[in-house]
Structure 1
Amino acid sequence: MIALATRYGFRIDIRVASHADEPALADFFAAVTDEDRRFRFLSAVRHVSQGQLHDITAFDYHRHETFVAFAPGGDDIIAAATLAADREGGTGEVAISILPDHKGKGIGWTLLDHVAQEARGWGISRLQSIESRDNRAAIALEREMGFSARAVEGDPALLLLERVF
């Protein structure tokens, strides 16, 4: 478990998720808003399936990890961030979700920064995120952190945000 403080002073504990976290992640994704699930999965997902949870918690050192965040001393997941690298290991993709009552505390910034550090440690030189154009908060955060944005070819509703290290 790693203890971190957000830029607003909110403290979180994070660790790598395992398959044992699938029930807690199911509860977490059930508690995020419909809109946030749509932003995370880029579709109108109402329920995260067992197969999706299994994939989210799959651990493949330097290829795939999901980090779960907790309030200090808490047992309930308040945020989750997944980092997945391509086969060559040069590009990674990140996706973050946060419970509604924990937004605005700097958790997204802190998780994205942690994932970026992990990505660099894996040798990833390009970190990407695919966002719905409606996800203005995520786009603003990623741009603030040095990500550039461009349209996703063939889908005008999406943006590809990218940070090169």
Structure 2
Amino acid sequence: MAELVSERVNAAEQRPVAPVEAWSADLVTRSGYAFHVRPASPNDEAALAEFFTHVDKEDLRFRFLSAIQKVGHDQLKALVMVDHQRTENFLAIEPETGLIVATAMLAADETLTNAEVAVAIRADFKRGGISWTLLDHVARFAVSKGIRTVESMESRDNHEAIELERERGWTASACPGDPTVMVLRKKIDATHA
């Protein structure tokens, strides 16, 4: 699929379509909620800063695995200045308002074999299936890159995320050296994405 994406041509302009553009999509959750997803760009820093003010404090702690009150410039920069090869940050956008409602970052190792994913969602958009649908999109992207294993580091207290991932076929194990963290892992291939 990656070869097809890089070879696609925009007929109107007769130039290759950037792979980043190819990963923009309109998605629909199991509950019928429609949203747009696209890779983040440097222009999204202010909108992401606003987004994180609507994420529960406890979810911020789970997402960043530390007790933070506000997502700072350096953290935001890491979310928007990605290489789009080993690292990608997907933004779920509410189509009517343009608000960022969720984000899912994937960071792969140098061999593009294993990757870690981290998801955050606005408090007022939880429980609508956005996280599941976004994780499926991330899995398709990972498969296109040849990534075979995706991991998520979760606080043991984040029962909601752990349960979500288990329902999606992830396995949980203790994190060596840190009893407060669980490692959730899923092997993926083209049939699972």
- Scaled by the length of structure 2, what TM-score is found? 0.83
What are structure 1's unaligned runs of at least 5 residues? none
Identity of counterpart residues, as a percentage?
47
Segment drifting more, 129-138 vs 67-76? 67-76
Q: Which amino acid aligns with 1:95?
A: A
Which among 126, 139, 146 is matched to residue 162 of structure 2?
A: 139
Counterpart position of 2:42: 19
Counterpart position of 2:143: 120
| Distance (Å, rounded) in 2 between the aligned partners of 1:74 and 1:36 | 23
* Pairing 1:64–2:87 present: yes
What are structure 2's unaligned runs of at least 5 residues? 1-23, 189-193
Segment drifting more, 20-29 vs 53-62? 53-62
Higher Rg of the two aligned structures: 2
Counterpart position of 1:36: 59
Q: Which amino acid aligns with 1:164?
A: K
Counterpart position of 1:86: 109
Q: What is the DSSP-based 3-state SS (H/G/I as helix, E as strand, rest coil) of the residue aligned with 1:157?
A: strand
Counterpart position of 1:106: 129
How many angstroms does 1:49 deviate by?
Answer: 1.2
- Scaled by the length of structure 1, what TM-score is found? 0.97
Residue deviations 1:89-144 (CA, integer Å, cap 9, x gap): 11011000011110010001001111011111111000000001111111111111
How many angstroms does 1:4 deviate by?
Answer: 0.5
| Distance (Å, rounded) in 1 between the aligned partners of 2:41 and 2:94 | 18
- Asked whether the equivalents of residues 58 and 64 of structure 1 are also in contact (C-alpha less than 8 Å), the reply is no
Residue deviations 1:32-60 (CA, integer Å, cap 9, x gap): 11101000000001111111111111221
Tell me the matched-pair count. Answer: 165
Larger RCO of the pair (alpha carbons < 8 Å, separation 6+): 1
- Asked whether the equivalents of residues 133 and 158 of structure 1 are also in contact (C-alpha less than 8 Å), the reply is yes
